[in-house]
């Protein structure tokens, strides 16, 4: 075999959480592995380089800013700290696989089932054949077809992390989780932030008391939320940019487009491998993450599932079981998967809202209480952040938790306990009567669950 060809047991395309974990496990087990990544800045995947880790690093920095700190200087220093953290994690991820797998910097394109051509970073061509292939190319920020989004000063969730100069006035197009997270972050860095969203309200899936409280908290900190507002274009203005709306305009220094993400599949040549995609470009998979091509799997965001790093990690477990286990593990095994949006305080949710639970036939008990009114939960007051609300949705017959929303200090940790309780069938009474450390945010379980009552949708 020539040096321009390589045959391996496993080929991983894309260095995301699932792919890199599978590569390491397979290589450690003595199998031959090749991993292809087109961008060295993405060693380790989206999470550690441009998403979860660096953005939360910036959120923490923004929360620590004092009113008299110069926004431009403070933001520049925060970005430098972010970059140092990312650089270290990026290098560490490369070291984790160096010497175990064949690491290829280049762009892969399928030329047949389980076979790719790679144009390497140094311009050479390499053909890789594999017994099994895992596609984990992820997603990138989506851009709607609006005039002016190519202007300087228009950012997406990746590029705005290095916004220059710091925007004194920022418009965020999109009031979803990503848009709200960046809105809260930049407001605390010192921006005057306006969120524009065409829907009647933000966070449409969550119960009204939560949406109302999120609105109140963001508004109290200076974020302007404009819903039922459609953007028609962005244009230059004498001082910055002008966002044109159906009912007026907003003048700003910068614009963040936060309208979702799109899969990185268009240039992979998937048709040559017999891999089907849906109408949005996401790779179609079954509950074992198998694609329409034999021996080819799709993991992480590119398969159209929930776009969380921990879901990608679980994708690794599902595929590993197909390749090296009994083949029984499926995505249907996932129960009570929590999520957190890192506004301040963090907003965490798991399971069903009361309205969803009722639609599924449950007789519902419900409790909702503002954090400031929870006497048994002093930790938020100690930290100087008693904003938020906590809700629980419970099945009246079994007393088991069906869902919870925690908009409060430490919610990103407490929600994991709640999710575990749901998976284990722990009742609301057991959590309500639990013995928790003091002072802690977990103590909210004692007080809020004691107020369960029949759900009144009105």
Active-site residue set: 438
Q: Is 213 helix (H, G, I), strand (E, B) or coil?
A: helix
Distance of alpha carbon 148 from alpha carbon 44, whole angstroms:
33
Measured CA to CA, the distance from residue 154 to residue 255 in angstroms comes to 5
The answer to whether 377 touches 449, Cβ cutoff 8 Å, is: no
* Measured distance between the N- and C-terminal CA atoms of the chain, rounded to whole angstroms: 71
Question: Tokens 């004092």 — which residue?
Answer: 66
Q: Which tokens hold the place of 201?
A: 């309200």
Q: Give dist(CA 214, CA 181) in Å, integer.
A: 11
The 3-state DSSP class for residue 2 equals: coil
Beta-bridge partners for 406: 348, 390
Closest CA to 411 of 369, 349, 329: 349
Query: For the chain, how long is the longest CA-to-CA vector?
Result: 72
Q: What is the DSSP letter of 282?
A: P
**Closest of 9, 292, 257 to residue 146, by C-alpha:** 257
The backbone torsions φ and ψ at residue 328, rounded to the nearest 5 degrees and listed phi first, read -95, -25
309, 48 Cβ separation under 8 angstroms: no
Whether the CB-CB separation of 194 and 250 falls below 8 Å is answered with yes
Look up residue 82 and give its DSSP letter: H
């Amino acid at each position: 075999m020539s040096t321009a060809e390589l045959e391996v047991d496993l080929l991983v395309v894309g260095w995301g959480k699932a792919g890199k974990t599978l590569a390491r496990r397979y290589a450690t087990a003595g199998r031959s592995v090749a991993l292809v990544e087109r961008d060295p800045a993405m060693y380790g995947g989206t999470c550690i380089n441009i998403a979860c880790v660096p953005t939360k690093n910036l959120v923490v920095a923004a929360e620590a800013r004092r009113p008299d700190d110069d926004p431009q200087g403070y933001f520049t220093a925060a970005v430098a700290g972010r970059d140092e953290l990312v650089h270290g994690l990026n290098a560490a991820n490369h070291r984790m696989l160096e010497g175990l797998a064949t690491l290829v910097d280049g762009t892969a394109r399928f030329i047949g089932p389980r076979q790719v051509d790679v144009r390497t970073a140094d311009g050479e061509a390499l053909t890789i054949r594999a017994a099994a292939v895992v596609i984990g190319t992820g997603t990138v920020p989506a851009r709607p077809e609006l005039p002016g989004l190519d202007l300087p000063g228009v950012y997406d969730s990746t590029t705005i992390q290095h916004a220059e100069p710091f925007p004194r006035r920022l418009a965020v197009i999109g009031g979803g989780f990503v848009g709200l997270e960046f809105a809260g972050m930049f407001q605390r860095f010192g921006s005057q932030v306006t969120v524009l969203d065409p829907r009647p309200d933000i966070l449409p899936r969550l119960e009204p008391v939560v949406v109302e409280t999120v609105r109140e908290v963001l508004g109290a900190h200076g974020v302007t939320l404009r819903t039922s507002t459609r953007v028609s274009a962005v244009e230059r203005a004498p001082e910055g940019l002008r966002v044109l709306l159906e009912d007026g305009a907003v003048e700003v220094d910068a614009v963040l487009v936060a309208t979702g993400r799109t899969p990185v599949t268009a240039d992979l040549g998937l048709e040559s491998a017999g891999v089907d995609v849906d109408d949005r470009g996401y790779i179609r998979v079954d509950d074992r993450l198998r694609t329409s091509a034999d021996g080819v799997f799709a993991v992480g965001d590119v398969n159209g599932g929930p776009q969380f790093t921990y879901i990608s990690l679980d994708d690794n477990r599902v595929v590993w079981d197909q390749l090296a286990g009994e083949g029984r593990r499926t995505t249907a095994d996932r129960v009570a998967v929590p999520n957190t949006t890192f506004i301040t305080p963090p907003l965490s949710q798991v399971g069903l809202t009361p309205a969803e639970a009722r639609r599924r036939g449950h007789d519902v008990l419900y409790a909702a209480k503002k954090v400031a009114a929870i006497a048994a939960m002093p930790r938020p007051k100690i930290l100087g952040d008693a904003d938020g609300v906590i809700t629980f949705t419970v099945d009246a017959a079994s007393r088991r938790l069906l869902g919870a929303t925690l908009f409060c200090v430490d919610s990103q940790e407490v929600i994991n306990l709640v999710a575990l309780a749901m998976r284990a069938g722990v009742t609301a009474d057991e959590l309500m009567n639990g013995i928790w450390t003091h002072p802690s945010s977990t103590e909210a379980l004692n007080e809020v669950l004691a107020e369960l009552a029949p759900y009144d949708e009105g």
